[in-house]
Structure 1
Amino acid sequence: MAAMTEPKLISGNANRPLAQAIARRMSMHRGMSVGLVDARVERFNDQEIFVEVYENVRGEDMYIIQPTSNPANDNLMELLIMTDALKRSSADRITAVIPYFGYARQDRRAKARTPISAKLVANLLTEAGVDRVLTLDLHATQIQGFFDIPVDNLYAAPVFALDILHNFKGAREDLMVISPDVGGVARARELAKRIGAPLAIVDKRREKAGEVAGMTVIGEVTGKKCIIVDDICDTAGTLCKAAETLMEAGATEVHAYITHGVLSGPAVERVENSVMKSLVITDSIEPTEEVKNARNIRIVPTAPMFAQAILNTWSGTSVSSLFETDTLVPIYEGLYSTL
């Protein structure tokens, strides 16, 4: 049975352009204006976060759009406090739309006396009053099991596949998908299957954390246009090193498709100076001006996918349908309509 009230969107400060793009896309689908709920999310002089919602949200189906990217702690606290404000204002259901789920890399205890911070964040969100989570490319899919509430994990692979098939029309037989490590093989295999390309692996060896001692290519990449696929690009050191290794192994071109462009520290400079022809990221994290102006970095929008996922969640229809090409092409009309 369809919901009786319209879905309402509210945004923190982490990525307002994405929230506004989602609202515009939902307006197109609904044939009516869907805006962001009027609210203020600000800081006192001591950096305490304060939230005030100016509209009535009693009995409403609320969607908070807030990636927990850098500064991760501030953005996470904004999300928690916004949730509390909506809960105390008698919102009926609160869905946290978290395009980038911070702390996801701390999903297990790799050493003694270390935390599982992703589980802690899941507990905080649930206790604050979140009823459902909608996110994109969790670093580890088992994080869904950290929650006792529904979690919908969207995937960038179907959108990346559309982009690759659109931009490499005349060279599809030369494409090869590359996993930058053994742990990412499942993600790379999914993309390879979608575009009908073979798969290779770059096996890296570390002597200590943060430093790659050596890399080995597992597979034949000679004469291939290599596409590295991963979920997170942080400092880009490993990514650029992998690109160099592939070129040395005989690849003709190296491109990368990374869901979350964290791109901290010297990352953008490294990418621009690397042998990679292009790095494609999504807007799950608000790109800086440096990222926008980088000569070989391109941004793929996620608003069409998130808008449709929110509408499907609100109306009680399938979210997994968004993993299919036939479903994605219409909602990305204008971008990939020539496939």
Structure 2
Amino acid sequence: MSTDQHSTTGAYVTGGEAFNRDMRYIPTRITRDGRDGYPVEPGRYRLVAARACPWANRAVIVRRLLGLEDVISMGLCGPVHDARSWTFDLDPGGVDPVLGYERLQEAYFARVPGYERGITVPALVDVPTRAVVTNDFPQITHDLFFEWRDHHREGAPDLWPDAVREEMDAVMERVFTEVNNGVYRCGFAGSQESYDQAYGRLWDAMDWLSERLSARRYLMGATITEADVRLFTTLARFDSVYHGHFKCNRQKLSEMPVLWAYARDLFQTPGFGDTIDQGQIKRHYYVVHSDINPTGIVPDGPDLAGWTTPHGREALGDRPFGDGTAPAPLPHGVLAT
């Protein structure tokens, strides 16, 4: 999520205009051969994320599923930022213990002095230089799978199976444009016309997903893939934020039987629900988006108890990780770090 340098918390809606996400991220990659100057090296890089952010949530989930916790360290920003940057206010003294920074902005400036685009999470930071390497969130999770394979845990799942790769690319593209980003096009619409168009596209895609998932346990079949990671982070935030705050209110997720069961299935799978903090999620959206919610009031609901109820989707496939295994479950109430 980006910020605007000209307001206290960030301007997100431009009157009369549709929302268009700026996808110009730092394209540098961390690869096995180090062709961009940053080779794969355990212990060298730090993933900076925020539990509030769905784009960062992807990287947190994939890192956990692949067992890279001891290979790539993780720093977590708090849920509320200002126009300048995400901050490390969850850490003692408000300073990241590895990078020594109060603001993620400092890592961006260490790489590109006066960096002018949004200071976004997730970001991979080179610890020796304390400079950001990349914030290209789709590429980050792709490379965690393909470039870091030598360091995956035993039993790590195949998140990008060859047999369905072409179809998966098309599915992920539709999920991104119509759902992941679609909720933002609704929420940040600057006109009734742009909102109506975004709303229609979102719900066309949600209905398509419901139909697709009615006969298969996961988006690509019987096993979890990267496509499921990408959809889950939006569904996990739907009722608590997008339904009301972003006006995506045809139905709640909990009123869509197939998608609600699918989301609960993933939430109850190690590596998914144990990355979610609904308190931080709500605080981020309702406080930071002050042009949408000027009072800054954070709602108390919804009731979260439903996330742990039986989902009944085992009948569609009982090998969510295929030939792999689930990551070890965390103690009850403990979130992935």
Higher relative contact order (CA 8 A, sep 6+): 2
TM-score higher than 0.5: no
Provide the TM-score with structure 1 as the length reference. 0.30
Tell me which structure has the larger Cα radius of gyration.
1
- Whose strand proportion is higher, 1 or 2? 1
Provide the TM-score with structure 2 as the length reference. 0.30
